[in-house]
């Protein structure tokens, strides 16, 4: 492992340790856990982006397409499927189901409220047979959730636990897989 990768790994592991310090029953802790894990993920995808032959200009591209290209969609999805994350991914998909889901992640920037078409597309990606589409769908979901928490109006309502707990578990597995891909 080169020095840059070692520093990225050290940084990411430190933020995972911070995430481990939060409990699982309080909504505030669920927010903090997810944010801490996302900081670790951010460092990893930034590292992979700097090493990419086709670096992403936008943060969202780095967190999705560039990360998937760096670690491999089949390897990432294989790791998530074998590590028990499949049930959490299915739960996350159900939460944004266009027919019966209670959440949406993508807002209509012009009119406010739900962007039905974009949320349907994201939901479809989570159920795709293509591992590449599915991997990008999972990462897009997590990225959009982070954007909603950081920039949006999500508060510490108890209902947020439905989405934050499985999202944090999936994100944790992705960060651990990213760390193993550095070595």
User: Residue 132, Cβ neighbours under 10 Å: how many?
Assistant: 17
**Mean pLDDT calculated for residue range 52-62:** 88
> Stretch 30-46: mean pLDDT, rounded?
97
Measure the CA–CA gap between 106 and 120, rounded to whole angstroms: 10
Three-class SS string for 43-64? HHHHHHHHHCCCCCCCHHHHHH
Six-digit token pair at 103?
């959440």
DSSP state of 83: T
Residue 23 has pLDDT above 80, yes or no: yes
Region 78-92 average pLDDT: 93
Whether 183 shows a pLDDT value over 80: the answer reads no
pLDDT band at residue 87, thresholds of 50, 70 and 90? very high
Separation between Cα atoms, residue 85 and residue 177, nearest integer Å: 12
| pLDDT for position 138 | 98
Mean pLDDT, residues 42-71 taken together? 93
- φ, ψ for residue 114 (rounded to 5)? -75, 135
Give pLDDT tens digits for 143-171: 999 998 888 767 788 999 999 999 999 99
pLDDT of residue 113: 82
User: pTM for the whole thing?
Assistant: 0.95
Please enumerate in sequence order all residues whose Cβ is within 8 A of that of 72, keeping only pairs 6 or more positions apart, or say none.
none
Buried (b) or exposed (e) across 76-110, using 16+ Cβ within 10 A?
bbebbeebebeebbebbbbbbeeeebebbbbbeee
């Amino acid at each position: 492992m080169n020095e840059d990768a070692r520093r990225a790994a050290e940084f990411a592991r430190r933020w995972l340790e911070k995430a481990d310090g939060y409990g699982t029953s309080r909504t505030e802790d669920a927010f903090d856990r997810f944010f801490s894990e996302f900081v670790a993920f951010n460092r990893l995808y930034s590292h992979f982006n700097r090493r990419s032959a086709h670096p992403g200009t936008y943060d969202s591209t780095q967190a999705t397409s560039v990360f998937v290209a760096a670690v491999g969609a089949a390897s990432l999805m294989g790791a998530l499927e074998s590590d028990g994350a499949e049930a959490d991914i299915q739960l996350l998909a159900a939460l944004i189901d266009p027919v019966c889901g209670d959440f949406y992640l993508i807002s209509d920037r012009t009119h406010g409220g739900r962007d039905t078409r974009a949320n349907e597309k994201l939901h479809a990606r989570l159920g795709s047979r293509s591992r590449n589409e599915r991997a990008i769908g999972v990462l897009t979901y997590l990225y959009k959730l982070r954007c909603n928490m950081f920039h949006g109006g999500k508060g510490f309502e108890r209902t947020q636990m439905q989405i934050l707990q499985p999202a944090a578990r999936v994100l944790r597995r992705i960060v651990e897989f990213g760390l193993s891909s550095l070595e």
